[in-house]
Amino acid sequence: MSAHDVRAALRTEVRRCLDEHVDVRPYLVENGGEARIDKALWGTLTGQMGLAGLLVPEADGGSGAAVADLAVVFEELGAALAPVPMFSTAGLVLPVLRAVEKSEPVRDLLAGIASGSTVATLALHEADGRYSPEATSARAERDGTGWVLSGTKSFVTDAAAADVLVVPARVEAGIGLVAVPAADARTRTASGRSSSVRITTMTSLDLLRPLATVEFDRAPAQVLAGPDVALQLGSGLDIALILLAAEQVGGAQRCLDNAVSYAKNRVQFGRPIGSFQAIKHQLVDLLLEVELARSALTHAVRTADEYLQDPSPATAGALAEGASLARALCSETYTHVADEALHIHGGIGFTWEHDSHLYYRRAKAAQLLFGNPDEHRERLAVAAGL
């Protein structure tokens, strides 16, 4: 089978599973409710189908597949709004781990992710919802033979479900990558002082991926990589951006498909509304946007796979350019398509019961987290040499 056929088969398999099992309604988090994930579905997707381990090298218990394969999975998860922590675990943490030196703790974490036993997330953003190495305030300090982490991260995805929080933090003079087991909410450190990890779910726009604030107070930590991995971390985050873009393409495609199907069936003035040019031209414009976004994604995915095969300043530069390009376009596409698809559904699309708002919320949240389109366009201009 060609890579093309393998990916088509993977898509079919994932879609079939999600069509059968996804029911988002019980997992909506409203007004400070507790974030929950669909554990049964997570078990199927990871343990049974091994999807979290696609990007984990075979030597570490994964299947050594390409970013192109994982991107297909994220398209489908985005289309279904599946309430599982796949983006946090395999979309955020995994690429970051792939980009840094493979230490023993990194290998352990990779193996845990591949087997499906570990849910992980990346606690990246500062209180203002942004990340940069310079502005990173969390700090890891030596404590006896180990380390402890202190500081606050905000806008963290799937924090409540995570077994491990991976945190870019100051380690000595640089930016390192630190792992904190979330379960040890209150333990004693070697020095005998109390410590904690406190996770507070924020009331969030995206009801299916609520964000959280995580406060670390001398939390026992493990340094995965450091003392200075800011550059590698940046490339890992670029791959994460591309996987998020894949989720956006999948979501946009589903919104479009739903709107096309509605336009064929909804009859007004004695005709399906899809026979009116006002509607059909709108749908064609959305199709064009989705196809271009998908094409930009294909381009970006290639830069990601080239980087992982041969990490160099050149491939890292191409990856940064590809990631920002895809993110800028896929973000605007998803928000626009979700909005117009909702509109084509008419009043029903504005109701709580209809799923349109869930896509609209996801589109908006995905657009603004990890850099908005203006920021990515500026970054693209820099990367292109302007």
Contact 220, 148 (CB under 8 A): yes
295 binds another protein (CB under 8 A): yes
Residue of 48, 275, 312, 351 that binds another protein (CB under 8 A): 275
Tell me the longest C-alpha to C-alpha distance in the chain.
78
Look at strands 164-171 and 139-143 and give their pairing. parallel
12 binds another protein (CB under 8 A): no
The pair of structure tokens assigned to 199 is 């996770």
Q: What is the Cα–Cα distance from 383 to 386, expressed in whole angstroms? A: 7
CA distances, 100 to each of 116, 221, 337 (Å): 21, 17, 36
Cross-strand partners of 198: 215
291 binds another protein (CB under 8 A): yes
Q: What is the Cα–Cα distance from 370 to 361, expressed in whole angstroms? A: 16
Among 101, 71, 110, smallest CA distance to 87 is for 71
Minimum CB distance to another protein, residue 193 (Å): 48
128 class by beta-carbon count within 10 Å (0-12 exposed, 13-18 middle, 19+ buried): exposed
Residue of 292, 314, 348, 350 that binds another protein (CB under 8 A): 292
Residue of 52, 138, 197, 260 that binds another protein (CB under 8 A): 260
202 binds another protein (CB under 8 A): no
Look at residue 191 and give its three-state secondary structure: coil
**Per-residue contact track with another protein, 318 to 337, x per CB under 8 A?**
-------x--xx--------
Residue span binding another protein (CB under 8 A) among the ranges 17-25, 120-128, 231-239, 273-281: 273-281
**What is the DSSP-derived secondary structure letter of residue 62?**
S
Q: Closer to another protein by CB, 1 or 173: give it.
A: 1
The pair of structure tokens assigned to 351 is 């109701």
Contact 164, 182 (CB under 8 A): yes
End-to-end CA distance of the chain: 42
Q: What is the Cα–Cα distance from 213 to 51, expressed in whole angstroms? A: 28
378 binds another protein (CB under 8 A): yes
4 binds another protein (CB under 8 A): yes
Task: Kindly compute the dihedral angle of the four CA atoms of residues 309, 301, 91, 340, in this order, to the nearest 10 degrees.
Answer: 180
21 binds another protein (CB under 8 A): no
241 binds another protein (CB under 8 A): no
Minimum CB distance to another protein, residue 267 (Å): 10
Residue count, binding to another protein (CB under 8 A): 38
- Tell me how long the chain is: 386
**Per-residue contact track with another protein, 155 to 194, x per CB under 8 A?**
----------------------------------------
Minimum CB distance to another protein, residue 255 (Å): 14
Residue span binding another protein (CB under 8 A) among the ranges 160-168, 194-202, 216-224, 278-286: 278-286
Minimum CB distance to another protein, residue 182 (Å): 38
Q: Closer to another protein by CB, 127 or 284: give it.
A: 284
**Span 298-317, contacts to another protein by CB under 8 A:** 298-299
Minimum CB distance to another protein, residue 286 (Å): 10
Mention every residue, 6+ apart, whose C-beta is less than 8 A from residue 386.
none
Minimum CB distance to another protein, residue 59 (Å): 31
**Which residues of this chain interact with another protein, rule CB under 8 A?**
2, 4, 260, 263-264, 271-272, 274-277, 279-281, 283-285, 287-288, 291-296, 298-299, 325, 328-329, 374, 377-378, 380-381, 384-386
